[in-house]
Chains A and B, each alone.
Chain A
């Protein structure tokens, strides 16, 4: 039975050198990805509580210290988190997204707190913003739990994360007040690599050379980022990153973004 359907496939499409990925083979990786995202968002919720507690207590030093390690969990699961556009705006929008700039009423979330903590060196008047962020990440947790992950969003997420890196991390625009961009950078890369790892078996079946190239570029990016790791497991600020390293990141990041954008097609999800 199996033989005859394979024979049929080969007769009908002489170009099919490899059998297409069976859709049901994607169930394991897609569900493992949801488990991964759920864990990350649980950490986001726990750490956001600690971060906003520090803000509300007026503990500026602790608040500053917790800012980057808290939001990194958001960055690593952005392909899913950003499916909820209202929450993505209230949690992660930049000042540029708001017509009235820093003073805009709807400029909320991490970057609004970042502005006060790092540009103004202040925790004054942030209670409502702190509570709002807490409420939003909990809302995100509930919504993600109830979401059936669209497989094409999961597989497409790897490219989305690399595009995010290319667009917002290399320029240093994301964390412009705190310069903690490297945390987010690593978060995006780890999130993309997780997706590649979860679908590794299926990708390998389709295109071994592709996988080797992707792995190599991930390794290059990781090795450059590793140079800026600090003893406490964090990262140097982005203004410390040398010009030649910034340039060296551009090539592999762009190639990864381009290569990973073909992943959906390779796995039959276009």
Chain B
């Protein structure tokens, strides 16, 4: 009877509760197990989707790749005997790259690829180019149709092109002065003029580095050449730097300086001729800052003979600041919550560099401690991460 004394019913009810409880625990445990296994599967998935590319001394394996459009991960394994680079090129422009992959180690490149045919630079500059075919998917087709209005980007992109025009004009002027000092046989003047020319280059570096071949002629390190410093093909800024600061000699520098002058003149022309897609206005900065954080800050490898690295970092930051100012109205309108983080990351990085000045001049990098170098790397990395939020927030990347 339903309304009998409840007492006798007590034990079975308790039992029922206990049973129910254990069922819940079992379901929860099952759920957790399911979740964990899904997570593991997802992790495996990422690894599973990685495409391994081995850089041998004189070629890559495989050298011809085909991937579907969208996000792709490449694990680049360096089996050659020196630090080299691997780049995805769209015509003459760099889409993604990883520099200074140490011998015996591997690095992952994540790329968000649009359908099309790309070329690959693989290790030494003399190595044969690889190919990368990116095939369209339903998702990439849909994205191509769903692009937001681009009118808002005309202003910032135009201003950036004006910046490239004036800064590359300044670079030509600075390299021309350096070339003249070298031609005149004035070593100390040439040493003094190396710095302003490098600063001018570093203010353009994020954009210049899209122009793979030309940028290599201007900025390649000795490591990228078979016989390093002794290689007859080693040229550009760092060949001049080597002569001026390591050998303290102008021997053989005159033709190198002339070629550099003609290369930076071509750089200006190409920077103005190549249109920059809106999503790359920020991504070129992210790439530049990541290379600073991952490679250049710790080793000081870029200006290894002159140790003028800090000036270069500051000039890289100037380029970042310029773009952030150009994007600020757009960000204020469409992604205002990102701005405080970006601004504070800029201040933190700027503050770190400013702290390494003596009497208004940057210290030479050989006097910067490992701990200070780590600070520089961390702050550049944080700034890159803050900037990396911009493209998705503005609807410029669908896959991030």
Is B45 interfacial (CB-CB < 8 Å)? no
Would you list which residues of chain A between 1 and 25 have a CB under 8 Å from chain B?
Answer: 1, 4-5, 8, 22-24
| Interchain CB contact under 8 A, A151 and B155 | yes
Tell me, rounded to whole Å, the shortest Cβ–Cβ distance linking A98 to chain B.
Answer: 35
- Of A26-34, A108-116, A166-174, A235-243, which binds chain B? A26-34
| Interchain CB contact under 8 A, A35 and B165 | yes
Given known contacts A1-B115, A151-B151, A8 and B159 CB-to-CB distance under 8 angstroms: no
Q: How far, in angstroms, from A35 to B165 measured CA to CA in the complex?
A: 8
Given known contacts A1-B144, A5-B145, A27 and B157 CB-to-CB distance under 8 angstroms: yes
Using an 8 Å CB-CB cutoff, how does the interface string of B153-165 with A read, 1 for contact, 0 for none? 1111111011001
Given known contacts A34-B158, A148-B158, A151-B155, A24 and B329 CB-to-CB distance under 8 angstroms: no
Is B340 interfacial (CB-CB < 8 Å)? no
Q: How far, in angstroms, from A73 to B397 measured CA to CA in the complex?
A: 43
| Interchain CB contact under 8 A, A30 and B278 | no
Given known contacts A24-B154, A27-B157, A34 and B162 CB-to-CB distance under 8 angstroms: yes
Question: Which residues from chain A contact B275 at a C-beta distance below 8 Å?
Answer: 24, 27-28
| Interchain CB contact under 8 A, A148 and B159 | yes
Give the contacting residue for A148; candidates B150, B151, B329; CB below 8 A.
Answer: B329
| Interchain CB contact under 8 A, B115 and A31 | no
Using an 8 Å CB-CB cutoff, how does the interface string of A103-145 with B read, 1 for contact, 0 for none? 0000000000000000000000000000000000000000000
- Which chain A residue has the least Cβ–Cβ distance from B69? A1
Question: Which residues from chain B contact A233 at a C-beta distance below 8 Å?
Answer: none
State which size class the interface on A falls in.
20 to 34
Question: Which residues from chain A contact B150 at a C-beta distance below 8 Å?
Answer: 22-24
Tell me, rounded to whole Å, the shortest Cβ–Cβ distance linking A134 to chain B.
Answer: 23
Q: How far, in angstroms, from A131 to B144 measured CA to CA in the complex?
A: 56
Most buried by A among B141, B154, B159, B275: B154
Most buried by A among B136, B153, B159: B159
Question: Which residues from chain B contact A38 at a C-beta distance below 8 Å?
Answer: 162
Is B277 interfacial (CB-CB < 8 Å)? yes
| Interchain CB contact under 8 A, B154 and A23 | yes
A-B contact pairs, 18 of them (CB 8 A): A1-B115, A1-B136, A4-B141, A5-B145, A24-B157, A24-B278, A26-B158, A27-B154, A27-B276, A30-B154, A30-B158, A31-B158, A31-B161, A34-B158, A148-B158, A148-B326, A149-B155, A150-B155
